[in-house]
Structure 1
């Protein structure tokens, strides 16, 4: 399970830093419920112990409470995710869990031995099988010494990370080099640097190390430009120069709707998260729908749509929920199609073994839609959910014209793994990916990212200084001549 238990993802530097600075409780901030009794002989069809296919996760259900355990070959620690049942079970025993009255996931039994877990803000589901009992090592006290932390850190990557071969990293050799440097008396500062040195060569924006509630390292592809407040302000000002009227903002400023000359719509999505003050995914989708309704008026489906084309801008988008990206894609099509297929590593000893590919489908929305020409602006600062959104539009017809630069190259939901004795990771914790998002040919874009069809400068210093936006200008030219 990853950030927000999988769906919403950490991205870029600032988002990781912000999340980890508050103790990385975004792995579902369901509150501390204490230990959940784990017994296979429960009172309901879901009560007992479940093992997730992939993800190194166990789930226990008892007395209306759910909790996770993070496992490797050498450890089993209480996970950061705890939740309580919300309401009564529905059809087929489907049970909602979350914090207080707000549910965030549905757990559904499939017979006595199998179950499915669906997260509101994630694409796809997780499949689980029943275990007879919680493994004994999950009940033992946690060793938080330097050697134990190192071993959990190394094993977590060894059993979950899918890209060692693609990046030319021999993880066994990494252990052989660094394990002798750690002793029972290794100071925290020295251990921290060792762990950073181990994962730095991955250059992976979905990797991060947390120590004492603070992000001390996050990966990025070399040459990545991290969006600063100043860059965002200057970029927004240059976009505004091309709009025919002041833009409208939604989602706490993360969604911008405007109009470009020639009856072109403009939608800027700076995040796929944080649209509402609360954590409710329903509030997030409602605010996104408000922005899309402003962009696509209700007469659009009656043949009177004033748009000639649409520009969508995710150049400074740090990511978030795949489900929100799919929701936008559903407003851009009149036919169902496969966005991508997801797989996750599910064999700790064999990095070539993955779960069965799970197709993720874009289905036409019943709300007003735009099915005409679309140009999508991307950059190296288009990260995570911004990239799965980009990938989801690759199967659209008519074809979307991608303009700008390659995206960052990280797609997986993010696993959050405490490494010490604090389930929220306030002593030691790590983030890492464990999934691949496959296109129709079985390829993944992890690493290099998704390339544009038309390459254009993105917020260069020269463009910013002269009030230009070369990529947006090219998008307008493409749409007005198509």
Structure 2
């Protein structure tokens, strides 16, 4: 069957004729990313993307307009294309590009086959060629795909259910199938429903027993606690405004208000609450980490799966360092509250603190275990999108916390039904006790 073939030689197809653009003076042209399965076309101040597998080439969701090198995208970020590289202000790292001298392949301009089997094939190959964690999840993607494709061939009306059934066993909160009226995701078993978050925040605020300052519609909150302690909660690293640049400005304003010279000198301990951090932009996490250290330290290294045929092959890891902020910084004892709803950029932020001196004490439950940026990939069925991660964030030993999450040093309940019913926050109480030395 087509899904089990090694892959069609999509880019051996004849390309649309056109002049070869000089690489010495412009980035106009068509580029292929190393990893990410994407073509990037730059022409006349416009950036267009194409989502590519070995059996497909479809217009991508990301577009941008700009001056020919820097582009404001439809996702609220700024993309920069240089000779051989692509970067985004809201992401960490640089993606390598290779120019396609023949221009855009014909396959990328053909009308897509929108049949159920075609949609299935593109979905299956998108995961097969990008997802790094099949072995860790114990999923035989090829065998599962063979059975699932036969079911779609016999019952095309069941396409959504079949695709959802394929990714559900991955138990990965970063995978998904999005349609205009449905959403299939698969977080780790035991993950609380995010609908508990408002109640959880209310229970914690009541337990603080102190006035709470808020920024970004409550996404950032701070309170001075008795005994010289502080409490900082961050529930996400996105959505403060409509752009990454705006989000960063809001965050820095809040951090300036929290980390004043007088407060950083007087605090005896700080509780950092990430238990309901839904993620967002990794650079914002590093901006917070920079306020919590007096010396540079390793945050993590990031690498991307870049061989469609081999899930074990990756780009060279790009390391990232937490560097002290220029203004006042808090460098004393730190307790970090974590749990299953600490997700994605909330987890990379947690990881970036592990090599801090003094090392923070982690309290609560394991984080969710999803670190990669996610790719939204267009499917042939109109309005359908596959969401797939393709990166690993490594610690100094080359280890990744994907799947397991980062484990706490002190395990406590985190927003369990019993805790919420009783209005009790054991993790917070434990942090206050440990930081107070009592």
Instruction: Name the TM-score, length of structure 1 as normaliser.
Output: 0.83
Q: CA deviation at 1:183?
A: 2.8
CA distance in 2, matches of 1:372, 1:472: 18
CA distance in 2, matches of 1:370, 1:171: 47
CA distance in 1, matches of 2:309, 2:115: 25
Partner of 2:434: 478
Matching of residues 153-168 of structure 1 within 5 Å: 153-168=123-138
* Offset from partner CA, 1:349-391 (integer Å, 9 cap, x none): 1111100011012111112211111111000111111111111
How many residue pairs match? The answer is 420
Conservation of the 8 A alpha-carbon contact between 1:257 and 1:294? no
Alignment partner of 1:382 out of 342, 356, 378: 342
Partner of 1:143: 113
Matching of residues 25-424 of structure 1 within 5 Å: 40-41=20-21, 44-86=25-67, 95-99=69-73, 104-109=78-83, 115-132=84-101, 133-183=103-153, 186-187=156-157, 190-211=158-179, 213-228=180-195, 231-276=196-241, 279-299=242-262, 305-420=265-380, 422=382
CA distance in 2, matches of 1:448, 1:185: 36
User: Considering only aligned residues, what root-mean-square deviation do their CA atoms show, in Å?
Assistant: 2.1
Q: CA deviation at 1:280?
A: 2.0
CA distance in 2, matches of 1:400, 1:239: 20
Q: What SS does structure 2 have at the residue aligned with 1:416?
A: strand
Partner of 1:447: 403
User: Are residues 178 and 243 of structure 1, via their aligned partners in 2, closer, same or farther at CA, if it must alter by over 3 Å?
Assistant: closer
> Which consecutive unaligned segments of at least 5 residues does structure 2 have?
1-16
Q: What SS does structure 1 have at the residue aligned with 2:124?
A: helix
Q: What SS does structure 1 have at the residue aligned with 2:50?
A: strand
> Which consecutive unaligned segments of at least 5 residues does structure 1 have?
1-36, 90-94, 110-114
Q: CA deviation at 1:281?
A: 1.5
* Offset from partner CA, 1:49-95 (integer Å, 9 cap, x none): 11111010110111111111110000011101110115xx7xxxxx3
Instruction: Name the TM-score, length of structure 2 as normaliser.
Output: 0.91
* Offset from partner CA, 1:180-227 (integer Å, 9 cap, x none): 12239722xx1111111111111110011112x234311110111022
Q: CA deviation at 1:145?
A: 0.7
Report 1 or 2 for greater relative contact order, CA contacts < 8 Å, sequence distance ≥ 6: 1
Q: What SS does structure 2 have at the residue aligned with 1:274?
A: coil
